[in-house]
Structure 1
Amino acid sequence: MIKSLVFDFGDVFLTLDKSATQKNLQKFGITEFTKDMLVKNQAYEMGLISTQDIIEYYTTHFPQISQLDFIHAWNSILIDFPPHKLDFIKTLAQEKSFQLILLSNTNHLHIEWVKENIEIYNEFKNCFDAFYLSHEIELRKPSEAIFKYVLTNHDLKPEETLFIDDTLEHIKAASQLGIKTWHLQAGKEDVVDLFKIKRDLLF
């Protein structure tokens, strides 16, 4: 029986347009993310470099893009937060049937945008027993270490833990540790249907 629910944030609760950042950067001649860019992006997502570092990296390599243009492009992936998903997690929090944990690969610029533009963010965050953002804990999915970090911190048994994420690579990593999973198909499935889709696993 499942005792703890571990949720991803983007495209599980927060609606994303995952192609938007690259589309917007293309306007400034950044046609693809090179290996070096991906390394920098991941370092930023793990909080290993600062916001100013990532901005200076891009504006130095591509002087045609201003700081403001970069920030706009970087945050364009973030769309909105459907209110019915807040109602869902609030109900779960009130029922107290499960321990609720959020585990998200999120960088500082993105979470600052969320705080400024998603009015229900604090109410959402307060629904969780633990709220882990990659740039704050210096770990990111799909590393084994981040899942072990959550399991250890909360003394969780993998077989009693359900992890919900829209990224298959993350799901596979969690599954290898014995964690139960739901690979949510963003745009086709809704997290609020958890008890319809995974009922047999939950109870």
Structure 2
Amino acid sequence: MINTIIFDFGDVFINLRKEHSIEEFKKLGLDGPNEDLLAHNDLFEKGKIDELQFINSFTKYIPNASLEEITKAWNSIIGDFPLERLEFLQMLSGKYRLFLLTNTDSIHIERFEHKVGMSFYTDFYRCFEKVYYSYEMGMRKPEPEIFNAIIRKHDLSPKRTLFVDDKKDNTDAAAALGLHVWNLKVGEEDVVDLFDQKHLPL
């Protein structure tokens, strides 16, 4: 029986506007991400480079854009957080051990907190036994060690733990370690549908 649930954040609780962010960068002259920028994003999400180093990585490709414009475009991916998802999470928190595990960066988390306000994000964080950000952990999904670190620290039983994420690479990595998984299909499924029998093993 499941007694622990580890949740992803983006497109599970908060909606991400990926296409909108790409369009905002196009307005600044950047025609989509490239390998160099993706590599810098990986480093930023692992906390290996700081905010200024990350934002500066864009200036090579869009030299006429200001750091403020780049930051704004970067944060334009942050969408809304439906209240029913928070209410659902609050209901779950009385029944399961809950953890948040997300590949993210300090800029996005600051934007999220500013956007929803202190009362909302405090209620959200309070639902979890522990919130794990990749940039604070120095590693990111789907690296097995990020899952193992949480399992070890909190003495979790993989066979009694469910991991929910919208990226198949991440759920595949968790499944390989023995966790139950739900690879949530964005736009077709919602986290509030968790109690559909196919998503929550008994």
Measured against the shorter chain, the TM-score band is over 0.9
Q: How does 1:51-70 map to 2 (within 5 A)?
A: 51-70=51-70
Residue in structure 2 matched with residue 98 of structure 1 by the alignment: 96
Q: How does 1:118-197 map to 2 (within 5 A)?
A: 118-119=116-117, 120-197=120-197
Q: How does 1:27-66 map to 2 (within 5 A)?
A: 27-66=27-66
Cα root mean square deviation, aligned? 1.3
Q: Determine the C-alpha separation between the residues in 2 that align with 1:200 and 1:157.
A: 16
TM-superposed CA distance for 1:19, in Å, is 2.1
Equivalent residue letter for 2:65: I
Q: Determine the C-alpha separation between the residues in 2 that align with 1:159 and 1:70.
A: 43
* 2:3 is equivalent to residue 11 of structure 1: no
Equivalent residue letter for 2:38: L
Q: Determine the C-alpha separation between the residues in 2 that align with 1:78 and 1:140.
A: 19
Question: Which blocks of at least 5 consecutive residues in structure 2 are unaligned?
Answer: none
TM-superposed CA distance for 1:59, in Å, is 2.2
The number of residues matched between the two structures is 200
Structure 1's 167 and 28: CA in aligned 2 closer, same or farther, altered over 3 A? same
Question: Which blocks of at least 5 consecutive residues in structure 1 are unaligned?
Answer: none
Residue in structure 2 matched with residue 109 of structure 1 by the alignment: 107
Structure 1's 39 and 199: CA in aligned 2 closer, same or farther, altered over 3 A? closer
- C-alpha offsets along residues 138-177 of structure 1, whole Å, 9 cap, x if unaligned? 1111111111111111111211110000111111111111
Contact 2:194 2:200 (8 Å CA) reproduced: no
| Runs ≥4 residues deviating over 6 A | none
Residue 163 of structure 1 aligns to a residue in which SS?
strand
Identity within the alignment, %: 39
Structure 1's 24 and 199: CA in aligned 2 closer, same or farther, altered over 3 A? closer
Contact 2:162 2:200 (8 Å CA) reproduced: no
Q: Determine the C-alpha separation between the residues in 2 that align with 1:200 and 1:43.
A: 34
Equivalent residue letter for 2:193: D
Equivalent residue letter for 2:149: Y
Residue in structure 2 matched with residue 87 of structure 1 by the alignment: 87
TM-score normalised to structure 2 length:
0.94
Bigger shift: 23-32 or 159-168? 23-32
TM-superposed CA distance for 1:56, in Å, is 1.8
